[in-house]
Structure 1
């Protein structure tokens, strides 16, 4: 992939589109015995690793690798595979097979680092979860809002933890294209909605109605979240957040591209579900798939006139 520039080149790599569409579903995948979606839990894992003293670069690569592998494996993760009796090498083989299944368009050097992370499981010591992690997990996103118009709510809503995690993962994957520091992009994305840990999300409409009150309220509520972090992590996150205001830096471009992509794909998946056809389900996706009883299944559906 070639790097973008400000002289009229490509603003984003089209080759990553299908991967990002698939990754977005991590906000909607749940499993028995686990609270929250995969995206929500990876958000918590990331912050636990950071407060536990893990190197931010290691955390960024580790969480991104887990997210990419989960896009196909879902919650067949290292913890489950170990509980089911697989050894370290076997677990690494399964996880990297999930990674390989979706990363044909990912930057080769980044892909290599992600594969190494899945085999080494470098982030193991978790620290205490700041209060903003649970708060963002319980704070719904506003939906589609526009000043002067009623909002459009699409159920179920995503939460802010899911959004931040997805933007962080997209940002890391996009970083080679923009020649950006993936760690800065990751930390900026993981913290860019700190204000919403305390501030309910009324969307663009609500922000405009706050007028001159918006900036001081956001600054105050952001600081509440930052104050939950000990130094030097707090200072590291503050430095990363410096890329948030604009696209003047490579990191700012990677972040804003990721943020925009996630916001639109979140709505797109609702429209995709609404337009789904049985031809896609039965023919393209082979819902009644090949096996010893497929012929019988087909006759049952035919005789029941289903669909």
Structure 2
């Protein structure tokens, strides 16, 4: 048996999926991750089982990793049949999921087949609040923070952690519905509590726990039974890594925190040579030769 703490094979998928926190489209408010966070909570308040919502939202997120906002709603509006739209979504899903656990991959893939839509419920107020609450950036007690713009928000973070957690659940033999729900609810306190990071938490000292309990309670009070009880039970895995679900959650949370910062550093260190040669910014086509001559003669870059 491997002693690995996490599956290295999912690294590239997680790096690419992380960018859904930064993909926006005309006519749609917020990033893809932010909107999927709201969609997930709407399905939950509409009565869908957490396990079903976990699979539906994860499948949609994986398809969006390559397709972005070429989603089911757009494809239908553009005239594609349900079957044709499903085929496009599955192609996007297949392009990035080769290293997922095979059983989980099959379960998720089936979620992209034509099927009746879930019944949406009301979106709790904490969803919009978390979408407006910026994350703290890099903080450390005794040091000034490192704030990289634009900051992610808490809705984006929670959604990506939830989907990472589902993808990681087979590795830890964790229940994906529990991991998903715990991740979707793990920053309830930040719907009302500004994020001053680890530094702020340390400065609050003994006041931190009571403040977090009060502000978490405000969010919990927006949920009705039986969903509220399901969220409370899922959140019980958050304090430590003593359970399989706790390990899946904490692995996902840690990876997302680091990849969020890594993408800023990656962008800052990218060279023009790499963009032109490896990424083919001026890509193949009928006018590629002309484009190359224009750039050469204008001494660009």
TM-score normalised by L of structure 1: 0.97
1:213 aligns with 2:198: no
Whether 1:299 aligns to 2:293 is yes
Partner of 2:131: 137
Query: By how many angstroms is 1:122 displaced?
Result: 5.1
Partners of 2:134 and 2:204 in 1: how far apart? 19
- How many angstroms does 1:123 deviate by? 4.4
Answer whether contact 2:133 2:153 (CA < 8 A) is retained: yes
Note if 1:290 corresponds to 2:247.
Answer: no
Matched, 1:30 2:24: yes
**Structure 2: gaps of 5 or more residues:** none
Q: Distance in 1 between matches of 2:76 and 2:118?
A: 14
Per the TM alignment, residue 162 of structure 1 is displaced from its structure 2 partner at its CA by 0.2
Residue 66 of structure 1 deviates from its aligned partner by 0.7
Q: Does 1:81 align with 2:75?
A: yes
SS of residue in 2 equivalent to 1:118: coil
Q: How many residues align?
A: 301
Q: Which runs of 4+ in 1 moved over 2 A?
A: 120-124
- Give the Cα–Cα distance (whole angstroms) in 1 for the partners of residues 49 and 225 of structure 2: 14
- Within a 5 Å distance, the mapping from 1:58-207 to structure 2 comes to 58-121=52-115, 123-207=117-201
The answer on whether the counterparts of 2:276 and 2:282 sit within 8 Å (CA) in structure 1 is yes
Q: 1:152 to 1:229 in 2, by over 3 A?
A: same
> Over residues 199-233 of structure 1, what are the superposed CA-to-partner deviations in whole Å (9 max), with x where a residue is unaligned?
00000000000010000000110011001000000
Asked whether the equivalents of residues 180 and 250 of structure 1 are also in contact (C-alpha less than 8 Å), the reply is: yes
Alignment deviations for residues 238-288 of structure 1 (CA, whole Å, 9 cap, x no partner): 000000000000000000000000000000000000001111111111111
What is the match of residue 13 of structure 1? 7
Report the Cα distance in structure 2 between the residues aligned to 1:16 and 1:142, rounded to whole angstroms: 26
State whether residues 50 and 127 of structure 1, in contact with CA within 8 Å, keep that contact through their aligned partners in structure 2.
yes
The structure-2 alpha-carbon separation of the partners of 1:77 and 1:121, relative to structure 1 and needing over 3 Å to count, comes to: farther
Q: 1:225 is matched with which residue?
A: 219
Q: Secondary structure at the match of 1:149?
A: coil
Give the RMSD, CA atoms, in angstroms.
0.9
Aligned to 1:145, the other structure's residue is in SS state coil
8 Å Cα contact 2:189/2:212 also seen in 1: yes
Mapped partners of 1:275, 1:122: distance in 2: 45
Contact 2:83 2:114 in 1 (8 A): no
> How far apart are 1:55 and its partner, in Å?
1.5
SS in 2 for 1:146: coil
CA distance in 2, matches of 1:247, 1:123: 35
Q: What is the alpha-carbon distance in structure 2 between the residues aligned to residue 222 and residue 20 of structure 1? A: 28
Where does the alignment leave 5 or more consecutive residues of structure 1 unmatched? none
The change in CA–CA distance for 1:161 and 1:189 in structure 2 (over 3 A counts) is same
> Normalising by the residue count of structure 2, what TM-score does the alignment of the two structures yield?
0.99
